[in-house]
A and B are shown apart, each in its own frame.
Chain A
Amino acid sequence: MTQEEIISKINDFLVDEFEVDPADIQPDAPLQETLDLDSLDYVDLVVVIESNFGFKVKGEDFMEIKTFQDFYDYILVKVKEQA
């Protein structure tokens, strides 16, 4: 999977799971506010990442993820590690 394909896949499942307008997903937009995530939603984010990419995110890793770009970068590194 290319980087673009991975990002597209992430955007698709975020739109589907958290029911946001695709136009609101921008690399520099804040992840938590845009997706309106509370503590319970982060659990569901772990689930969708696992079901799409096969790895489990540790809760503390989310501390460093502020924007969608941070999120993409995190996933891209993890996917690369898995390969």
Chain B
Amino acid sequence: MDNRVVITGLGIYSCLGTTLDEVSQSLQEGKSGIIFDPARKEMGYRSALTGYVEEPDLKSELNRRQRVGLSEEAKYAYVSTKQALDQAGMDMDYLTNNEVGILFGNDSSARAVIEAIDVIREKKDTTLLGSGSIFQSMNCTVTMNLSTIFKLKGINFTISGACASGSHSIGIGYLLIKYGLQKAIVCGGAQEVNPYAFGSFDGIGAFSVREDEPTKASRPFDKSRDGLIPSGGGATVIIESLESAKARGANILGEVMGYGFSSNGEHISNPNKDGQVRSLNMALKQSGLDPKTIDYINAHATSTPVGDGYEAEAISEIFQGLNTPVSSTKSMTGHECWMAGASEIVYCMLMMRDGFIAPNINFKEPDESSSKLNIIAETKKTAINSFLSNSFGFGGTNSTLIIKKYQE
């Protein structure tokens, strides 16, 4: 028989805060984490808007060898993972003596790569990169470093699925546990926030240029949206089999009910409705839940004119007539890209924990597509028993997760 898969630990390090409570407070207040970064303007960015995340100083927590290989995003992921492991009650003794895996979404480590190339160009000597560069530069920088720091002995690799990476990491982890291949997995997503990371993304005109109003620039589903705002940090979701959680006496925070995935099979940057509908339907079918029992939809909606439109059409097709509440937390966080699919599960879990729906801030006027949705523009106090979270990425990769409050 398949295993039930539950969530026992959460961690977050984002532009909305660096603890679960702080982030829950920001979500309830509808607080934006977006700023104007003058350095980007000097670098020739079309848009200097970004989520603001401070790089953590880990000198007091990790020794030199543990720190030198950490890229910016791996530092964020370390902090969120430490929080999540603490919440899950998995200490070093447990991790050393059990087979716990790690699957993280990450799709770049641009700053580390660029800084290394700068040194090579200047010094014409690769030894002078030092020993940390390789471990910071690889796409698997997060899983490589964290598996070493936390002595993890289970599955260990990084999932690169563009802006759906974090969501796929939880989805793939869910399948491995469901089918009995792993007992517990540290899942999550990480995203660097430095200016090197987003130059090419800015270059294709994807970002909002509403620079005079940074906190009002991300406006998913709003008629006047003009692009996304890059952001990042680290988010961790620890999942394990119900049997494992019960045996450990862990506090069960929620249950993963379904994971849907699909590929659009069309354009590299433009989404389509068909792929998203297939992903949503697959997740719903797997969950065994009727769409009318879904209390909240956390949309992928990034504030781009085209992307939000397709998602609104996909959601309205499946949830037609149900008036299901929808919001995009990217209105506050910006687009946390490789991390977003995991961070948004953390945000939703906080909503479920604290009984509210976070607002889709800056939503003033719908367009033709978004007028079909019940978009929550102001914080709504309400119990959430189950939610659905979408993540879509370049190349047409789609991921949908459905989580429910745990019941015996």
Task: List the interface of chain A (C-beta within 8 A of B).
Answer: 17-19, 38, 40-41, 43-44, 46-47, 50, 56
Interface residues of B (CB under 8 A from A): 63-65, 68, 123, 125, 127-132
3 interchain residue pairs of minimum CB distance: A40-B131, A43-B131, A47-B130
B379 to chain A, nearest CB (A): 46
Whether B64 contacts A47 by the Cβ 8 Å rule is no
Prevailing SS type, chain A contact patch: helix
Residues of chain B within 8 A of A56, CB atoms compared? 125, 127-128
Complex: A59 Cα to B128 Cα, angstroms = 12
A18: which B residues are within 8 A, CB to CB?
64
A47 to chain B, nearest CB (A): 5
Cβ-defined partner of A44 (8 Å) among B63, B68, B123, B125 = B68
- Measured in the bound complex, the distance between the Cα atoms of B364 and A12 in whole Å is 59
Residues of B within 8 A of A50 (CB): 123, 128
Contacts of B127 in A (CB 8 A): 43, 46-47, 56
Q: Are A40 and B65 in contact (CB under 8 A)?
A: yes
**Contact status A19-B130, CB under 8 Å:** no
Closest B residue to A39 by CB, please name it: B131
Inter-chain pairs besides A19-B64, A50-B123, 16 sampled, C-beta below 8 Å: A17-B64, A19-B63, A38-B65, A41-B65, A43-B130, A44-B68, A44-B130, A46-B127, A46-B128, A47-B128, A47-B129, A47-B130, A50-B128, A56-B125, A56-B127, A56-B128
Max chain B C-beta neighbours (<10 A), residue from A38, A41, A47, A50: A47
Docked complex Cα distance between A18 and B129 (Å): 17
Q: Which residues of A contact B123 (CB under 8 A)?
A: 50
Identify 19 residue pairs between A and B in the complex whose beta-carbon atoms are under 8 Å apart, listed by A's number: A17-B64, A19-B63, A19-B64, A38-B65, A40-B65, A41-B65, A41-B131, A43-B130, A44-B131, A44-B132, A46-B127, A47-B127, A47-B128, A47-B129, A47-B130, A50-B123, A50-B128, A56-B127, A56-B128
Q: Considering the chains assembled together, what is the distance between the CA atoms of A44 and B64 in angstroms?
A: 11
Measured between C-beta atoms, what is the minimum distance from A42 to chain B in Å? 8
Name the B residues within 8 Å of A17 (CB-CB): 64
Expressed in whole angstroms, the minimum distance between the Cβ of A26 and any Cβ of chain B is 21
